[in-house]
Amino acid sequence: MFDHLVESTSHKDDLARKGSFILGTIVAYAVVLTGLFVLGIYLYDAQLESQSLELTTLVAPVPVPPAAEEKPADAAKPTKVTTDQNVDVRKELVADVADTRVPPKEVSAKASDIPPMRKGVTTVVGAGNSNAEFTGGPVGNGTGGVPGGTGTGGGPVVNVDEPPPPAPTPKPVPKAPVSGGVLNGKAISLPKPAYPAIAKTARASGTVVVQVLIDENGNVVSASAVSGPPLLRAAAVAAARGAKFSPTKLSGQPVKVSGVINYNFGLQ
């Protein structure tokens, strides 16, 4: 029993000694590594002077004031020219024959087309002849003109355009087709129907009446058999659809026509 106790105490001391050694070793390594790290910082040369460093500065853009809108130049306003209502206008200043102060330039037996100047009224030269009392048109000469005119000519003539004649009313076109009765003799082209083989075998014969509707151009737009042997009706209808007629006119207007076409089938 005492031998085991002595052996246990010896083993415990050995473990304590090994633990102290390991701990000391770790501390020594930590001190050495820390020293190397600090020494490396002091010995490192960054060589900043040999490096090309650029300094970038972010500058906000300068606000640009909005351009002033250019107002379009005001268009030249038309100047309204008014003529004084108390002023006479003449193409040429012609003195009155009763005024002896101004001798005429030439003597003529024909009356002048230009009225003379009136006394007491201001007269100016213009593109037409008009008096102050009548500013809406030229001055007439003679008894039919505007007051103040002289000579033998007639007054102002006003041309009144006659109203245009009314457009002719189109004649009404009947909407319903016109009945044409039997149309065999009115056809421009009337194809003959083929005799069906089954009808020949059955020895079917007789007359097939086909009801047709013809448009304004003379073409058959619809066809249907209304009577006749059943074995022959299809051939008659097919032939009727290929028929052609001349256009039918009523009061000068083309109209639709309805009628019948008779097809006679006979065995030889």
* CATH code, domain carrying 199: 3.30.2420.10
Write the pLDDT tens digit of every residue in 15-52. Answer: 888 888 899 899 999 999 998 998 888 887 656 566 55
Confirm whether 134 is domain-assigned.
yes
> Between the ranges 12-26, 119-133, 160-174, 187-201, where is the mean pLDDT highest?
187-201
List Cα–Cα distances, 152 to 110, 131, 139, in angstroms. 9, 18, 13
pLDDT at 137 over 80: no
Task: Determine the structural domain holding residue 96 and report its residue range.
Answer: 82-150
Confirm whether 115 is domain-assigned.
yes
C-alpha span between 60 and 26 (Å, rounded): 57
Q: Which positions ≥6 away from 92 have C-beta within 8 Å? A: 114, 125
How many domains are contained in the chain? 2
Average pLDDT (135-145) is 43
Distance from CA of residue 256 to its chain's centroid? Answer: 38
Domain end position, chosen among 150, 166, 197: 150
pTM of the predicted protein model: 0.37
Residues 259 and 214 in one domain: yes
Write the pLDDT tens digit of every residue in 230-251. Answer: 999 999 999 999 999 999 888 8
Per-residue model confidence (pLDDT) at position 87: 77
Confirm whether 21 is domain-assigned.
no
